[in-house]
Amino acid sequence: MPFNLPIALTWLRIAMIPLIVGLYYIPADWISVPMRDMVGSLAFIIAALTDWFDGWLARRWNQTSSFGAFLDPVADKLMVCAALLILLDLNRVDSFIALVIIGREITISALREWMAKIGASGSVAVHRLGKFKTAAQMIAIPCLLYWQPIYGISTEIVGQVLIVIAAILTVWSMCYYLRRAWPEIRDKTDRRS
CATH dotted code for 5-192: 1.20.120.1760
Half-sphere exposure of 126 (CA within 13 A, CB side): 10
Report pLDDT for 188.
Answer: 66
Coil vs helix vs strand at 56: helix
Report pLDDT for 55.
Answer: 81
Length of the chain: 193
Report d(CA 36, CA 74) in Å as an integer: 26
C-alpha distances in Å from residue 47, one per residue of 14, 23, 65, 134: 9, 15, 21, 13
Report pLDDT for 131.
Answer: 84
Report pLDDT for 193.
Answer: 53
Report d(CA 40, CA 46) in Å as an integer: 10
Displacement of CA 118 from its chain's centroid (Å): 25
In order along its 193 residues, the chain shows pLDDT tens digits of: 677 888 888 899 999 999 999 999 888 889 999 999 999 999 999 999 988 888 888 888 888 787 877 888 889 899 999 999 999 999 999 999 999 999 998 988 888 787 777 777 666 667 788 788 889 999 999 999 999 999 999 999 999 999 999 999 999 988 888 888 888 777 766 665 5
Report pLDDT for 189.
Answer: 61
Phi, psi of 24 (to 5 degrees): -85, 0
Report pLDDT for 192.
Answer: 58
Cβ atoms within 10 Å of 26's Cβ, excluding its own: 12
